[in-house]
Amino acid sequence: MKTIIVTGGYLPLDFLKEQIKKRQVELIICADSGADALYNAGILPDVLLGDFDSVDEEVFNSFVQQGIKTVRFSAEKDLTDTHIAIKYAIKQGSKKIIILGATGLRIDHTLANIYMLEKFIRHAHLKIVDTKNSIELVSDGSSRIYHKKDYKYISLIPISRKVYGVTTEGLKYKLQDATLLRNSSFGISNEILSEQGAITIKKGLLAIVQSND
């Protein structure tokens, strides 16, 4: 099952509408403060989820009146709304999860959301998507194909201190069984040459960021 999770970060309405239309997902989960953006975009989620402390009352009531399922969690200090939403999505059988609103001006939230993907890496294919970037994590023994389509750049950024055995196909700057270091910016701004490229890694945790200027 393909799922979109809408959380409370930076999320322009046009972008949100375009993503919901384009992705054709079977499940839309709204994580707490993501409700305002959905409401303003006139989009109904399938599930509204969180402790509902930060949701606008009018928005919440409107969704409830329209029959949207609500799942209330008590505010657990060490689990974010996004975390709870991902767990819920996986429990429902989601194998592809696109997270919108997970980035923004607060660098701590952005970092924490990217790192959180690691926790679920064996359970689903998760992607954080915003107006400029598509971010995912890949780990030991992964081989993935990436499509050029909407993005100019593809960057390989180690999250673990080292990533071993990185091999690329169809990228401008070729890598063959290379070791990438977290504190070097070696893998930034590579490009897919034609329609698609492939990235294989043997060991480590790597962020793949597709982006536009």
Q: Using alpha carbons, select from 35, 25, 24 the residue that is nearest to residue 68.
A: 35
Q: Which is nearer to its own copies, 200 or 211 (CB)?
A: 211
Using the rule CB under 8 A, is 130 a contact of its own copies? yes
Rule CB under 8 A: say whether 160 interacts with its own copies.
yes
Name the residue nearer to its own copies (CB basis): 24 or 183.
183
Q: Is 53 in the site for its own copies (CB under 8 A)?
A: no
Residue from 3, 7, 94, 155 binding its own copies (CB under 8 A): 155
Under the binding rule (CB under 8 A), the answer on residue 200 touching its own copies is no
Tell me: does residue 168 bind its own copies (CB under 8 A).
Answer: no
Q: Which is nearer to its own copies, 48 or 208 (CB)?
A: 208
Gap between the Cα atoms of 116 and 136, Å rounded: 11
**151 touching its own copies, by CB under 8 A:** no
> Which member of 68, 138, 163, 207 binds its own copies (CB under 8 A)?
207
- Is 45:29 a contact under the CB 8 Å cutoff? yes
Strands (DSSP E) along 132-195, which ranges? 133-139, 143-147, 153-158, 162-169, 178-181
Q: How far is CA 33 from CA 52, 55, 134, 153, in A?
A: 8, 5, 21, 31
Q: Which residue, 36 or 130, has its beta carbon nearer to its own copies?
A: 130
Element (H, E) at 122: none
CA–CA gap between residue 169 and residue 126 (Å, rounded): 22
List binders of its own copies among 106-125 (CB under 8 A).
106-116, 118-119
| Interaction of residue 199 with its own copies, rule CB under 8 A | no
DSSP state of 198: E
Tokens of 44: 């109904």
C-beta of 66 vs 107, nearer to its own copies: 107
User: For residue 136, what are its two tokens?
Assistant: 């995912």
CB-nearer residue toward its own copies: 183 or 194:
183
Q: How far apart are CA 40 and CA 31, in angstroms?
A: 15
Residue 148 identity? K
Q: Is 148 in the site for its own copies (CB under 8 A)?
A: no
Give the residues lining the site for its own copies (CB under 8 A). Answer: 77-80, 83, 103, 105-116, 118-119, 130-133, 135, 153, 155, 157-161, 173, 182-186, 188-189, 207, 209, 211, 213
